[in-house]
Amino acid sequence: MGALITLFKKHQSILLHVLAWSVFFLLPIIYHQGYQEGRPRSVHGEAFLILNTLTNVFWVLLFYLNTKSLIPKFLYKRKFIFFLLTQLLLFLVILFFHMLLFRVIVTDKPFVFSRSAFYNSFPFVFVVLAGIAFRAVSDKIRSDLLAGERQKENLKTELAFLRSQISPHFLLNVLNNMVALVRLKSEDLEPTILKLSSLMQYMLFETGEEKVPLKTELDYLRGYIDLQKQRIGNRLNLVVELQPTEDWHSIEPMLLIPFVENALKHGTGLISNPTISISLQTKNGQLNYTVKNKYLVAEETKDNISGIGLANVKRRLELLYGNKHILRIEKADGWFTVNLQLTFKP
């Protein structure tokens, strides 16, 4: 069954064309059979049915000649007179072959050119207009698909660029932490180096993936927070509550860390009793993530390092989640609060 579905998708366009032309050929035959039912058999009726069925082959050829060549060559280039003259010539050619078929199939009736031209003009006009409509619609669909693919590629390129901007920032922090630990000659140096190695492995290799498990991203976040606690010491009141009841969801890598990094940058320093609060909950496919830090009201709380900061994260969220996320940034009573709510993608 799966193989049949795959085969259908691969040859879907061809099958639809075959179906459409089958209906085009069969409808006159079905109509003729219904009309003749209960009536004496008409030799002329059978002959004209065969004649019209064979003539339909020329309409099929006309359709594909127009859609594949003449429409893009003349109509798309606004050579309307050439297109009309070409159609008239083709109509005369079809009438010529129709005349030959008529004389072979309908042997007891004379061929009347004017009558043949009149009756064949209707299918001719229909096929020409159908070809124009088909080519226009198919080109529009193809154009929309290409535009969508270009948009997706541009989106991937922009996201990759934003991610590449973030990565060096993390790397600088990691190296600074290592230098601080070496200078302190802490007994925790060896496990800390291992932790740093794990964080750098995640940053350099796993973040190349489009998505990572939320659990993996939170492990990186916890490791980063632990290293910052070692670097800053007891002078920072750091409250961390990461309580994901649903940690099996996937999330884009390094999407959560910039909020903590921003808080650590602007929530320490000359601030008295610096305090940072980090909380995360997941429930019913929703993520609620809040980072709060005290800040000096007199200072501008803007991240200017390499243009990296919350503006970068805002752009990533817009590209990745659109209206599936809410990002609130507030300053009130000496507190800088960032709250992110987003819906996990299936």
pLDDT, position 8: 47
**Fold of the CATH domain 186-343:** Heat Shock Protein 90 (3.30.565)
Dump strand ranges (E) for the chain. 212-213, 237-244, 250-251, 275-283, 286-294, 325-332, 335-343
Nearest to 113 by CA among 91, 96, 90, 88: 96
Neighbouring-strand partners of residue 338: 291, 329
Sign of CA dihedral 333, 263, 341, 304: positive
Alpha helices in 12-79 (DSSP H): 12-36, 43-65
pLDDT tens per residue across all 346 residues of the chain: 555 555 445 566 777 777 777 777 666 666 545 555 555 445 456 777 787 778 888 888 999 999 999 998 898 888 999 999 999 999 999 999 988 888 888 877 888 888 888 988 998 998 899 889 989 998 998 888 877 776 765 566 555 655 555 556 556 766 776 777 677 776 767 777 787 788 777 777 776 677 889 999 999 899 888 877 877 778 889 999 998 888 899 998 888 888 988 888 888 877 888 899 999 999 999 999 999 998 876 655 444 433 356 777 888 888 888 889 999 999 988 899 999 999 997 7
Q: Taking a C-beta distance cutoff of 8 angstroms, is the pair 26, 56 a contact?
A: no
Sign of CA dihedral 265, 269, 270, 276: positive
Q: Taking a C-beta distance cutoff of 8 angstroms, is the pair 71, 128 a contact?
A: no
Buried (b) or exposed (e) across 127-136, using 16+ Cβ within 10 A?
bbebbbebbe
Please tell me the distance from the alpha carbon of residue 220 to that of residue 223, in angstroms, as a whole number: 5
What ranges do the domains of the chain cover? 2-146, 186-343
Please provide residue 43's backbone torsions phi and psi, each rounded to the nearest 5 degrees.
-65, -40
DSSP per-residue string spanning 272-301: SS-EEEEEEEEETTEEEEEEEEE--TTS--
Please tell me the distance from the alpha carbon of residue 134 to that of residue 136, in angstroms, as a whole number: 6
Please tell me the distance from the alpha carbon of residue 13 to that of residue 16, in angstroms, as a whole number: 5
Question: What is the separation, in whole angstroms, between the first and last Cα of the chain?
Answer: 26
Model confidence, pTM: 0.54
Q: Taking a C-beta distance cutoff of 8 angstroms, is the pair 70, 86 a contact?
A: yes
Buried (b) or exposed (e) across 69-78, using 16+ Cβ within 10 A?
ebbeebbeee
Residues 6+ apart with CB under 8 A from 191: none
Neighbouring-strand partners of residue 240: 278
Return the structure tokens found at 222.
């916890």
Neighbouring-strand partners of residue 293: 276, 336
In single-letter form, the type of residue at position 143 comes to S
Please provide residue 79's backbone torsions phi and psi, each rounded to the nearest 5 degrees.
-95, 70
Please tell me the distance from the alpha carbon of residue 100 to that of residue 111, in angstroms, as a whole number: 9
Cβ-based burial of 2 (10 A; exposed 0-12, middle 13-18, buried ≥19):
exposed
